[in-house]
Structure 1
Amino acid sequence: MRELLSELRDWHSAGTPFALATVVAVRGSAPRAPGASMAVTSTGAVAGSVSGGCVESDVYEVATETLTTGRTELRTYGISDDEAFGTGLTCGGTIDVLVRPFVEAADRDGLMELAGTIAAGEPVALATVVSGAARPGARRMVLTGLVSGSLGDEGLDAAVTDDARGMLAQGATGSIRYGAHGERRMQDVTVFVQTYTPAPRMLVFGAIDHAAATARIGSFLGYRVTVCDARSAFATRERFPTADEVICAWPHTYLESTPVDARTVVCVLTHDPKFDVPLLVAALRTPAAYIGVMGSRRTHADRIARLREAGVDEAELTRLASPVGLDLGARTPEETAVSIAAEIIQHRWGGTGRPLGELAGTIHHTS
């Protein structure tokens, strides 16, 4: 839902009812993961996607219907017929989509509370009853120290709150089954828990043209982007308008002072040993998911030798994506940024980096 926040706010401000469709379960291969959302207003406007086009038309009709009936609906979509003319997923998987109307202003106010929490970067989990002995569509918002809303039963609320906080700590999203009063190992009620954690960080070092292009594509991919360079003439907001922050500081000093977690990606585009070596020594001490370093093969070889002299061991050196990016034949800063982004996505999901047409098996990786 994060990508729908702007539209949802606008519709709420205008007093426009809308329905929110959310993928709550995926079995087999599917184009969107649990949590993917699509919204439809009473005036026919649409935002978002639940399947990349396979079932959107039917979900649109269901959403329009719920705005009239006021009832939450759960629909399952599976593989379509051989000609793919029917409503279904041509990729062969099955998805469950929960469609909940937000007709009353009070319901939309509650959703806007969630939207504000997400926009503020606060970790939050939203638990929604999907099916079973509780009211479908009932919601409970769980933050680190606060809760709001109810699923209709005190025991169920308590059990879901505990599980939602655990899932929030892991950044996990998925469905859990309970007894009607929150009992474990029972399957009377299905609850979908979607977690929203702050956007992952992209740290770009080196205020060059390639950095500007990388910052733009990082923002497009949903990262909170920081550009850092020690040269004040280069590290300016005017040069990097899409970055969330532009820092003028020695790169390694800044890296040692800023939070880095296992979702953070680091792009080193400086080309200068006096910046690169201390920065990479610091980066390899962090749990960063990806550390990409720009440079020619000669530069890479020289850099590796300098890092070994600085005490970096062979296991640590294997963490470096250097030279940075996938082999796309990129030439321009923008093409190079696409190459870097492609490698980051490959690292995140475990792709091969090869053309899909040369491979067999599932297309959508899950880990």
Structure 2
Amino acid sequence: MKTIFRKILECVQQGQTVALATVISSKGSLPMSKRAKMLVFADGSIQGTIGGGMVEAQVIDEAQDVLQTCNARIVRIDLTSDQIEADGLTCGGTVEILVECFTPQSEPEVFEAILQTMDHGQTAVIASLLPDAEPNRNPAFPQHRKILIQHDGSSVGTTGSEQLDAAILKLAHPKLGQPFLKTCALNLTPSNPSRVFLETLLPPPTAYLFGGGHISSHLSNILHFIGFDYVVIDDRPEFLTHERFPEAKALICQSFEHIFDALTLIPRASYLIIVTRGHKSDQVVLMQALRTEATYIGMIGSRRKIHLMFEHLQAQGIPQTMLERIHAPIGLEIGADTPEEIAISIAAELIQIRRSGE
């Protein structure tokens, strides 16, 4: 998402016009993310995707018209059973896509604030005023149509109406810090109904990799692409290099004995991945990890070794409810064998946990 907003800002600052397509509602089985966004440029090229296929092709065509008129519109596509059969599709449903245009005359402050919010790992809500479902009733849609409601309650941007801005802020404030994605009605007056699309910006989750060996090295490459920040911890400095972990948020060289004292606060939206060089250090980290509220705790090891470790922990008085928090052996069961395959199985489990939490 960050690359999409950065490209919009770049285009506006360089005097180019660009269209942004955003999925604002979907029903049924559709081949797209609920948070899908796509940029369409004047030459017909795109950045990002809303799922490909006939839906994407139609939106690209619609976006070319939006680029000409600079009037935002909502594209509603209903993939009926007849269309599915005719085009050989395997999915069907209904989707609404907001297509809006940004020009060199568009004020960049909102996009600058969005990027700053994401860079600082803060929460926020993006509110997008929607055009009327019947374009002919609202041909002069305002250029100012996005507001960013920041984590401290302040806002950047305006719709051009103080009354409408106030209503949007009131609606958006309770959504700060929550996973939220919804089109909401703003019935200020019976004769002037408005709709706004609210989407929350949440900091990317952080994965803490305890152990800087081969599995962590391969896993870090995947984490970067699936939207995770990551921190690597090891007591061997030669394993903690920027060449091995170029996108690391931090590299921490310290003994595992009291590592969580150095990490201070572990946010709830954290994923603890225990892949040290030995079972002894795995257990040392695990005992500390269980005292956190981390969303995910995963530990590598064979089923036999893990069974023996759990028996030892139970003998030490660790309750079964705490042990049930541990994903061990770590990763989804896909028959992974090599470090690369194990890294993929771990990443798949992180995605599963993350999306089920939404």
> Which TM-score band applies after superposition, normalised by the shorter structure?
0.7 to 0.9
Structure 2 counterpart of 1:165: 173
Match of 2:241 in 1: 236
1:142 has 2:149 as partner: yes
Residue 270 of structure 2 is aligned to residue 291 of structure 1 = no
Calculate the TM-score normalised by the size of structure 1. 0.85
Aligned-residue offset at 1:52: 4.0
Q: Contact 2:80–2:93 (CA<8 Å) still a contact in 1?
A: no
- Cα separation, 2, equivalents of 1:88 and 1:103: 38
Structure 1 residues 155-194: Cα deviation after superposition (integer angstroms, max 9, x where no partner)? 332232133222122132222112126x9xx992211011
Q: 2:199 aligns with which of 184, 194, 216?
A: 194
Spell out the pairing of 1:141-290 with structure 2 (5 A cutoff): 141-145=148-152, 146-180=154-188, 188-251=193-256, 253-256=258-261, 257-290=263-296
User: 1:32 is matched with which residue?
Assistant: 32
The answer (yes or no) to whether the contact 2:121–2:202 under 8 Å persists in 1 is yes
CA distance in 2, matches of 1:305, 1:187: 66
The residue type equivalent to 2:168 in the other structure is V
| Cα distance in 2 for residues equivalent to 1:33 and 1:258 | 35
With over 3 angstroms needed to count, the CA separation of the structure-2 counterparts of 1:86 and 1:38, relative to structure 1, is farther
Tell me: CA distance 1:92–1:217, structure 2 relative to 1, closer, same or farther (3 Å). same
Name the aligned partner's letter for residue 335 of structure 2.
Answer: G
1:207–1:187 Cα change, 3 Å: farther
SS in 2 for 1:316: helix
Moved more, 62-71 or 144-153: 144-153
Equivalence for 1:354: none
Within the alignment, does 1:91 sit opposite 2:103 as a pair?
A: no
C-alpha displacement of 1:260: 2.7
The aligned amino acid for 2:30 is A
1:225-251 deviation per Cα after TM superposition (whole angstroms, max 9, x unaligned): 111112223222232223232111234
| Cα distance in 2, alignment partners of residues 244 and 200 from structure 1 | 12
Aligned residue in 2 for 1:125: 125
Say whether the 8 Å CA contact 2:178–2:200 is kept in structure 1: no
Q: Match of 1:40, SS?
A: strand
Matches within 5 A, 1:52-91: 52-80=52-80, 82=82, 84=84, 90-91=90-91
Q: Which residue of 1 aligns with 2:15?
A: 15
Q: 1:81 to 1:107 in 2, by over 3 A?
A: farther
User: What stretches of structure 2 of length at least 5 have no aligned partner?
Assistant: none
Residue by residue over 1:266-318, the C-alpha shift from the partner in whole angstroms, topping out at 9 and shown as x without a partner, is 11001534422232122222222221110112221232133224432101111
1:115 alignment counterpart: 115
Q: Which residue of 1 aligns with 2:345?
A: 339
Which residue type is aligned with residue 230 of structure 1?
D
**Per-residue deviation, residues 178-217 of structure 1 (Å, max 9, x unmatched):** 2126x9xx99221101111211111111111011011111
Indicate if the aligned counterparts of 2:84 and 2:92 stay in contact, CA closer than 8 A: no
Distance 1:52 1:112, change over 3 A: farther
How many aligned residue pairs are there? Answer: 349
Q: Partners in 2 of 1:114 and 1:324 — Cα distance?
A: 35
Q: Percent identity over the alignment? A: 31
What SS does the aligned partner of 2:147 have? strand
Counterpart contact for 1:80–1:87, Cα < 8 Å? no
Q: Which one-letter code corresponds to 1:214 in the other structure? A: L
Indicate yes or no: 2:297 matched with 1:322: no
Note the C-alpha offset of 1:88.
11
TM-aligned CA distance change 1:215 to 1:309, over 3 Å: farther
Change (3 A) 1:129 1:10: closer
Instruction: Using the TM superposition, give the Cα deviation of residue 142 of structure 1 relative to its aligned residue in structure 2, in angstroms.
Output: 0.8
* Residues 177 and 187 in structure 1, CA contact (< 8 A), matched pair in contact too: no
Q: Which amino acid counterpart does residue 330 of structure 1 have in structure 2?
A: A
Change in 2 beyond 3 A, CA 1:13/1:200: same
In the alignment, which residue of structure 2 is the partner of 1:356? none
Q: Distance in 2 between matches of 1:155 and 1:318?
A: 51
> 1:329: how far off?
1.9
**Take 1:268 and 1:54, find their aligned partners in 2: how far apart are those partners?**
44
Task: State the secondary structure of the residue aligned to 1:179.
Answer: strand
RMSD between superposed Cα atoms in Å: 2.8
Counterpart-to-counterpart distance in 2, 1:323 and 1:187: 57
CA distance in 1, matches of 2:115, 2:89: 30
CA distance in 1, matches of 2:156, 2:83: 47
